[in-house]
Amino acid sequence: MDNVGIVVDDLKAAIAFFVELGMELESEAQIEGLWADRTVGLDGIRSDIAMMRTPDGHNKLELMKYHAPAAISAGPQNPPPNTLGLHRVMFAVDNIDDTVARLRAHDAELLGDLVRYENSYRLCYLRGPGGIILALAEQLG
C-alpha cells in the first residue's frame, strides 16, 4: 500500500492535527487538469493535497481539500464507528495519555473511554478534524 487518502474541509487544521500526532509533512501540491479528471472520474478537479509521512517513513496519509467540484458528505455528520466504509486509521503511540492531551488541543474528542486490553495495550478511539475517526494504541510492557 502506498497511502490512505482522506478528504478534509480544512487542510491546514488537518495538517496541524497529524503533525501533533507525530507525522511529518512530506509535500504539498495543487492538483488539477485533464489527467486528474480522468484518473478520479470527476470533471474540473481543483484540489490541494498534503502528503503526511509517519516518522519511520513507511506509511503515508494523503490529505485532500477539494475546491472544485466541492466535497460532498458521504453520510451523517460525525458518523459512528460502525458506519460502512473506511472505518478508522490506527496509530501506535508511545504515551497515549500525552497524545490524547495534545490532540485535544486540536479539538479531538474521545468517542468512548481510554481502556486497557488485557496486559497488551491501552486503546482509544477519537474524532479528529472533519469527523475523521482515529484509534490510538499504546503497547504495554
**Domain spans in the chain, listed from the N-terminal domain onward:** 4-68, 89-139
Look at residue 132 in the predicted model and tell me its pLDDT.
87
The whole-angstrom separation of Cα 97 and Cα 33 is 44
Average pLDDT rounded to a whole number, residues 51-72: 93
- Output 80 or 106, whichever has higher pLDDT: 106
Flag whether the pTM goes above 0.85: yes
The grid coordinates of residue 92 equal: 501506535
Provide the residue type at 77 as one letter.
Q
Q: What is the CATH number of domain 4-68?
A: 3.10.180.10
Average pLDDT rounded to a whole number, residues 109-126: 94
Q: Indicate the helix (H) or strand (E) that contains 20.
A: helix 11-21
Average pLDDT rounded to a whole number, residues 69-93: 79
Average pLDDT rounded to a whole number, residues 63-84: 82
Would 4-68 and 89-139 be classified into the same CATH topology? yes
List residues bridging with 139 in a β-sheet: 121
What's 89-139's CATH class? alpha beta
The whole-angstrom separation of Cα 127 and Cα 79 is 10
Q: Mind listing the pLDDT tens digit for each residue in 15-48?
A: 999 999 999 999 999 999 999 999 888 899 999 9
Average pLDDT rounded to a whole number, residues 88-111: 94
Look at residue 82 in the predicted model and tell me its pLDDT.
75
Look at residue 1 in the predicted model and tell me its pLDDT.
76
